[in-house]
Structure formats: C-alpha cells, structure tokens
Amino acid sequence: MFPQGYHAPRARFSSTGATGALMQRFYQTEWQHIPLASCAKLSCFTLPDAAFYAAFYEAFFRKYPSFADMPASWRAQKKTWAEKVLSCLPAAGAPRVLSVGCGLGYLESLMLAQRADIQFHCAEIADAPLRWLRPLLPEGRCHVGYAPDCLPPDLAFDLIYCGSIDYAMPDDVWRRLLQALRARLTQGGGILILSASLWPDPPMSVRSYARRCRQLWRVLRHLLGLQAVQFWGWMRTVGENTALCRKAGLSTLTYGPIGSDPHGLWIMAYP
C-alpha cells in the first residue's frame, strides 16, 4: 500500500520529530493492486473523496469475491494485527470493543473466530466496504459515519482500536478524534493505534531528505502529465505520533513495531 524501499531499522523508533514539523505527504498510483486512475481523476493536492471510494469499491469487489481471494501478504499482515488486538483484551468476560475504520472487517472476522464473546461495534465512514462484515455481526453493530458521532451516545468501550486511519488525517483532526474516543472508554479502557504509515527515518537524516525529494519528484511528474498520482495522506515519526496522543490526553503510552512492515507501528494509549 505504501511506497517501496522505506527501510531504516536503526532509526525506526527514534523520537525525533515530536513537534509535528515533518508530516510527510505520500502518494499512490494503486491500492490493492487496482490502478487508482481507473476509479477517478487523481489529485496530488486533495485526499480521495466519497465518489472516489464508491468507484474504488465497485472495482474492488469485482476483483475480489471473498477474503480468501485477497493477497496472501495482506491477509498475513491483518493476522498479525488481529493477534495484537487480542493481546490487549482481558482474558475473561465479554469485552465491548470498538473498531474505528474497520474497512472490510477482516480483522474482526479473525478475532471472532478465536473469541466469539467479543462484543464488537464497528465504525466506517462509508457503507461500501461493509459487505463482508455485516453478516458476521448482530444487527446494529455496524455504524456508518464519523466516530464517535455515528454511535449511540450511551456506549462505552473496554478497548477502542484504530486500524490504519491515522494517515488520512492532519494533526489537528487526528488529535480531536483521539480526544473524542478517549471520552468513550470505560474505566481502565484504552486506545490501540495500529498504523501502517510510520516515517522510518530521523527527519534530519540524509535518508529522510532523499525520500522527501523522491516524493516531490512524483508530484512534479504528475503536474507535467507524465504519471498521475493520488495524494493519499501523511506519514509520521514515532515522536510525532506519541506527541499527538499526549496532546489528546492519553498520557500512558507503550509502543513498538508490528510485524515485518517497516511502516508498521502500534501504540497502546491510556488516559
């Protein structure tokens, strides 16, 4: 999903950049092996809109009839993420869990296969991706719209996790979302952030400048009509991510790499 070749293990968990000054934009030409230009006119300045995603998911469901048809590498990554979420749940009871940005619902399907007692609520901004997830959950557990506004006001959760949604929001929007989700936690509950958009190099390093130059070159090629790219969102360093959590009132943090993806990061955050 992300540009290839970003790998700098020694610098991967540097806290440099906590001021939020980097906020490196990145761009896509395809997603899930579907050329984005086949879905809509691409923009290197604005994020994809609802019409873009509606067209994309039409193409997506034509290409992939079921979870089993998805690329093995994608399913393996989601399995690793599901294991991380499960490790954050209490061993007993029937925890109430909110998935923000659940997408297709593959994580939830994997977790329900291991723990049928989880009381899942899933929030997604569009209905289109939920085709495979809805049959797996009781009626009323899929919520379409922006969390937490799309949820019943009396619901609180033992765990809230955000699966690869941070990249699509600038700092102020992401911080406000974390603040709003914090208010939906039960006593002792926490927020788990699963990110696939970690910026792996220290901001002032030669590697970092080289990567930024390559991204600028992609924008220039787009403007010259040589290859269209879609502005996809922002990448952040570990320091930028954790600083935003603290600004949102989440002061107790643990974090680390997830899987073998050089862009993978998990953050477990508590008020």
**Considering only CA atoms, which of 65, 59, 114, 56 is closest in space to residue 89?**
114
The pLDDT of residue 203: 66
What amino acid is encoded at 188 in this protein? G
Q: Which two tokens stand for residue 205?
A: 């390093």
CATH code of residue 266? 3.40.50.150
Other Cβ atoms closer than 10 A to 253: 15
Residue 24's SS3 state is strand
Under 8 Å between Cβ of 229 and 48: no
The pLDDT of residue 259: 87
What count of Cα atoms within 13 Å lies in the side-chain half-sphere of residue 195? 29
Q: Is 79 within the bounds of a domain?
A: yes
Under 8 Å between Cβ of 271 and 251: yes
Q: Is 1 within the bounds of a domain?
A: no
The pLDDT of residue 202: 67
Calpha distance 169→181 (Å, rounded): 15
**Considering only CA atoms, which of 1, 177, 157 is closest in space to residue 85?**
157
Sequence length of the chain is 271
Contacts of 153 by beta carbon, 8 Å cutoff, 6+ apart:
none
Structurally, how many domains does the chain consist of? Answer: 1
Q: Is 215 within the bounds of a domain?
A: yes
Q: Is 2 within the bounds of a domain?
A: no
Q: Is the pTM above the cut of 0.85? A: yes
The pLDDT of residue 264: 96
| Centroid of chain to Cα 251 | 21
Give me the average pLDDT of each 10-residue run along the chain (271 residues). Answer: 28 35 82 95 94 95 97 96 96 94 97 97 96 97 97 97 97 97 97 94 73 86 94 94 97 94 96 97
Q: Is 94 within the bounds of a domain?
A: yes
Q: Is 211 within the bounds of a domain?
A: yes
* Torsion angle of the four alpha carbons 22, 25, 26, 29, in this order, in degrees rounded to the nearest 10: -170
Residue 66's SS3 state is coil
Q: Is 202 within the bounds of a domain?
A: yes
Q: Helices 106-114 and 72-87 sit at what angle, rounded to 10 degrees?
A: 50
Q: Is 3 within the bounds of a domain?
A: no
Whole domain around residue 196: which residue ranges?
Answer: 9-270
